[in-house]
Each structure stands twice: as C-alpha cells, then as structure tokens.
Amino acid sequence: MAPRSKGIRSGERARRGARGSGRGAAVPTRVELVLERNVQAPAIARSAIAEHCEELGLGGSLRQSLILLVSEVVSNAVRHSEADPQSAVELLATFGEKMIRVTVTDAGVGGSHARWLWPISAGESRRALGSRVARRHESLVRAVARLSESSENLDLHEAGSARPAGR
C-alpha cells in the first residue's frame, strides 16, 4: 500500500511573517489536501495540520483538538463513505484570525458524505460499559471542542458536497 496523497497543497495566502506570531495571525492561511482514500490518509492529514500549526505558532489544546478533529473526519471519510474507493478525500482547513474552519469534501455516492461519527455503536456500548457510555453518543465535534480551553476560537464546520474528486 502506498501511503501517499495524490497531492498536497499547503497553500498559504499568508505572509511568511505569520511564523511565531502566535494565535491571531492577521491573514487567513490554509491547508488543502487531496488524499487517497486509504488508512494512511489520517496520518498524512495530521502531519500537515501539525506542521501548519507550528508555522503559525499555534500550540497547546487548540492544536491537539484540531489534529484530533481532522484525523477523525478524514478517518470517517475513509471508513464510512460509500464513495468509489478510487475517489479522493479532500480536506480544507482555513486558519483565520478568530476561527479555524475544517471542511471535508467527500465525493460520496449521492452527495454529501462528510460525517462525524463516534465509532462506538450504542448497542455495543450498552453491552460493554453500561448506559452511562451509551448516553455519550454526542458528536465527536462537541467532544473535541471540549478538549480545547479556547474553544471559542475553534469553529468546527462540517460540510460535504458531491463535487467530483478530480476537481
């Protein structure tokens, strides 16, 4: 299995001066990935996001949450989509002054297939760990948002479309 993406554009519409300037870099920057639909995709996405956070001087809980979020979103696209296995998963993370927006475009059958799924099913959880865990069927988005002490700056935006993978 070749763990590589079809292409990575870590585009920065920002000045390079954003490096080390901390949260609140004045202009938006973005990470845009076109990933092959395989199990290596989440690690590739995490690596790109981590690198971009480093360039922007973003650290701590915000960085951790973002990496987890992106990893889960890409994982879900890889595992749960009914899309053609040959189609790509596209990830766009836009880093604004006050907000980070993460969009996954999954060329799934019939349109949007970007989903946030907590993979522990309700039935399984009930059997395994009792109702307390079963009730914890909240979205991953809320879960990872809580990981961040600065969640007001972390706008978790889910989106999907039927855009063809070939762009």
Partner 1 sequence: VPRAPFEIESAHDGQTGRLTLLGELDIATVPRVEEAVDAILQGGTQRLTVDLGGLGFVDSSGLRLFIVLQQRSGAEGWELALTRPQPQALKVFRLSGVEEDLPFVEDASAV
Q: What letters, b where the CB count within 10 A reaches 16 and e where it falls short, cover 115-146? A: bbebeeeeeebeeeeeeeebeeeeebbebbbe
The Cα 119–Cα 133 span in angstroms is 12
Residue 159 as a binder of partner 1 (CB under 8 A): the answer is: no
DSSP 105: E
Which ranges in 23-121 belong to alpha helices (H)?
41-56, 60-80
Residue 81 as a binder of partner 1 (CB under 8 A): the answer is: no
Residue 78 as a binder of partner 1 (CB under 8 A): the answer is: yes
The Cα 139–Cα 39 span in angstroms is 22
The answer to whether the CB of 98 falls within 8 A of the CB of 153 is yes
Site for partner 1 in 113-152 (CB under 8 A): 118-120, 127-129, 132-133, 136, 140, 143, 146-147
Least distance from C-beta 46 to partner 1, angstroms?
7
Which CB, 128 or 159, lies closer to partner 1? 128
Tokens of 118: 């907590």
Which CB, 111 or 130, lies closer to partner 1? 130
Least distance from C-beta 5 to partner 1, angstroms?
6
The answer to whether the CB of 33 falls within 8 A of the CB of 9 is yes
Q: Which stretch binds partner 1 (CB under 8 A): 38-46, 83-91, 101-109, 154-162?
A: 38-46
Which CB, 146 or 163, lies closer to partner 1? 146
Which CB, 15 or 137, lies closer to partner 1? 137
What residue ranges bind partner 1 (CB under 8 A)?
Answer: 3-5, 8, 39-40, 42-44, 46-47, 64, 67-68, 71-72, 75, 78-79, 118-120, 127-129, 132-133, 136, 140, 143, 146-147
